[in-house]
A and B are shown apart, each in its own frame.
Chain A
């Protein structure tokens, strides 16, 4: 069933068991990337750059936690990029109206939760394939962004809100970006939810074999609605953190990020067939994507070639991992 939680993996002393974990291969790829970039450039392994990378991948990773759950059930959520944009925009527009920060943030989170729930409803009650249902909400949420904002970015957000994304929490003698701390907390919570609760068990069961799960008396529709709602909620968290970091909510914000989010989950070992995937894997997957892009810019790969190199490295890395898995 591929259920692993972070604590379990890190504390496990059994070498053979660690080797067999599905995250191990992608973790090796990440190590290889980090190692070669540190050797090749003297700018990669600096605290400023590491925290830059960690901050930048935190909102992608947070959104990917939700995406991971959806994919485990055998579904897909294409609307996460639009939900990130819309929830950030709604929060920003309320803040500019003078609404208190906690209220505005809650409203933004609610937007994500509602869109996620509607996705679930379209898929269960409406019997739409997840791809179509969430493609529809991708367009609708993005359209709302344009409609609400009139096409223009919302700026001049209060400093206290921006601190959610910009503040560095002093731990020891380093400043740890606040979004990173949110990401770690959410990783622990979702990981525990997936591996330690009956709800998590049902999510894996549903993806493993939907018919058998339904026959065993589990309301699969309820599980799906919950999973899509959580996915929307987590995407909203990511979107609001990104908005706080930039201090601006553009109607085009996070456009196309659904692909980054889905890629983070899949590179991290979440199976598109369902039933398989872990939060730790998603974290590693998101880190690989971000480190790779960051590294290519640091090395100085030209804008015209960057995407081609990025695509090649990802495909080759995952293919090597597949070979390793088959050999086992």
Chain B
């Protein structure tokens, strides 16, 4: 018994020693002079997702602008795993380190799984920042992302704009407990707390499943035929084709039901144009690339330092500016600022 204990203790000491020695490696000194050409790896969660393609185009655009302005040339290396996979993404980061890139911007599939590859890069003297999805325990120099709480508040403001200061409201979420969704709902609830006439009559979830989303929306419409407002915390049921949610569609078109949803994807813009949705709150997909490259450039070239979290802001889309947003998706050019979402409502 005591022998086994001694072995266990010995092993623990060894492991601890290894950890301490590994952790105490002297940090690589930052490159004193700026190279003539910067190669920045821009790594999304997955390839072939239109949202990330918008960000990628933003990254390329910024690199082009910075190179033209000189004196440092900037090149973007767009690499990632095909599907959202934390292990595969770690390999992609290690490849980027091996290639000797000058900086990395990454959207982490998993905050914990990202720590090790990010720290390896930083230890090798490569500055890393996260965008869209963070790894707070890693040595990344900043995180550029949306404040989901503020997004929820913006959704509440949109709802009040279109529905008025009283009414019955329902919430649709994905998986109860998902941090980003809970934050959005917390912001939304705080946002409508100022209006005692607004009552949340139902909170339903759909497991991120389109089929279940359609079902629970219809069931909620059945239970509350006099519903005045919906907040879709994600766009799940909106992926389904028209005709899938007859009760919701009818109420939206004929009974003044107001629906506010998260994200600003083309399918949602179509619903908004046709009058089913009233407002959208979305991330700035373009900025994921465009701003990330600028920030890494500033960090390396100008020695600029950032707060641990950088707010990327968000896009608010209503009927006032939906055509501009749709045009941006059609042309892939998101450089122009989005017009005031409330301009045509006054």
Contact = CB atoms under 8 A, between A and B. Distances in A.
Contact of B216 (A147, A256, A297): A297
A166 B244 contact: yes
Interface in A281-328: 294, 297-300, 302-304, 306
Given A48-B222, A151-B83, A304-B176, A242 B211 contact: yes
Contact of B222 (A43, A252, A254): A43
Q: Which 7 interchain pairs have the tightest Cβ spacing?
A: A247-B241, A150-B48, A303-B205, A246-B240, A297-B219, A298-B223, A303-B203
18 contacts: A41-B223, A43-B225, A56-B215, A147-B83, A151-B49, A152-B50, A162-B241, A242-B211, A245-B211, A247-B242, A253-B211, A297-B219, A297-B220, A298-B222, A300-B201, A303-B173, A303-B176, A303-B205
A52 B215 contact: yes
A46 B267 CA distance: 31
A279 B261 CA distance: 41
Given A151-B83, A155-B241, 15 more contacts: A48-B247, A52-B219, A147-B83, A152-B49, A166-B244, A246-B211, A246-B214, A246-B240, A247-B244, A253-B209, A256-B207, A297-B204, A300-B202, A303-B173, A306-B205
Contacts of B241: 155, 157, 162, 246-248
B119 interface: no
Contacts of B82: 147, 150-151
A38 interface: no
Interface size class of chain A, counting residues whose CB lies under 8 Å from the partner chain: 35 or more
B273 to A, nearest CB: 16
A153 B49 contact: no
Interface of A: 41, 43, 46, 48-49, 52, 56, 146-147, 150-153, 155, 157, 162, 166, 242, 245-248, 250, 252-256, 294, 297-300, 302-304, 306
Best-surrounded residue of B47, B204, B222, B240 (most CB of chain A within 10 A): B222
Contacts of A252: 208-209
B239 interface: yes
Nearest to B213: A246
Contacts of B204: 297, 303
Interface in B60-110: 82-84
Nearest to A157: B241
Nearest to B218: A52
Given A146-B83, A297-B219, A303-B205, A155 B244 contact: no
B46 interface: yes
B244 A246 contact: yes
B220 A151 contact: no
Interface residues of B, number: 37
Nearest to A156: B241
Contacts of A299: 223
Contacts of A147: 82-83
A93 B218 CA distance: 27
A247 B270 CA distance: 15
Contact of B219 (A166, A246, A248, A294): A294
Interface string B222-265: 11010000000000000111111001000000000000000000
A255 B206 CA distance: 12
Nearest to B49: A151
B147 to A, nearest CB: 23
B210 A153 contact: yes
Given A162-B243, A297-B216, A297-B219, A151 B211 contact: no
A285 to B, nearest CB: 18
Contacts of B48: 150-152
B173 to A, nearest CB: 6
Given A52-B218, A166-B244, A300 B50 contact: no
B203 A304 contact: yes
Contact of B243 (A49, A166, A242): A166
B210 A253 contact: yes
Contacts of B83: 146-147, 151
Best-surrounded residue of B202, B211, B216, B242 (most CB of chain A within 10 A): B211
Contacts of A294: 215, 219
A46 B222 contact: yes
A245 B244 contact: yes
A78 B43 CA distance: 34
A171 B202 CA distance: 34
A166 B214 CA distance: 13
A246 to B, nearest CB: 4
